[in-house]
Amino acid sequence: MSNIILRIFTLLLLMFSPISVSAKMCPDGSFVSGFKCKLCPDGSYVGGNSCKLTPSGSFVGGNKAKLCPDGTFVGGNRCKL
């Protein structure tokens, strides 16, 4: 009986959990995080409302670029593994 209750609880939890990560496909076929594709001067797309030029010459979405331990830059505050 408790196994059934646990399964029902798990199902309800999954049904009503918010989805925190979203991806959008841009016109060139690439995917960006967020809900909007922004075309940058180099022809690449980033997620968000603005393109931020990084010291390496690439663009990231957002207002600031963060240097990650692997040497890449991301827009925002979090580096992804």
The more confident residue out of 12 and 59 is 59
pLDDT in tens, 45-64: 999 889 999 999 999 998 88
Q: Is a pLDDT exceeding 80 seen at residue 25?
A: yes
Question: In this structure, is the dihedral angle defined by the CA atoms of residues 60, 69, 21 and 30, taken in order, positive or negative?
Answer: positive
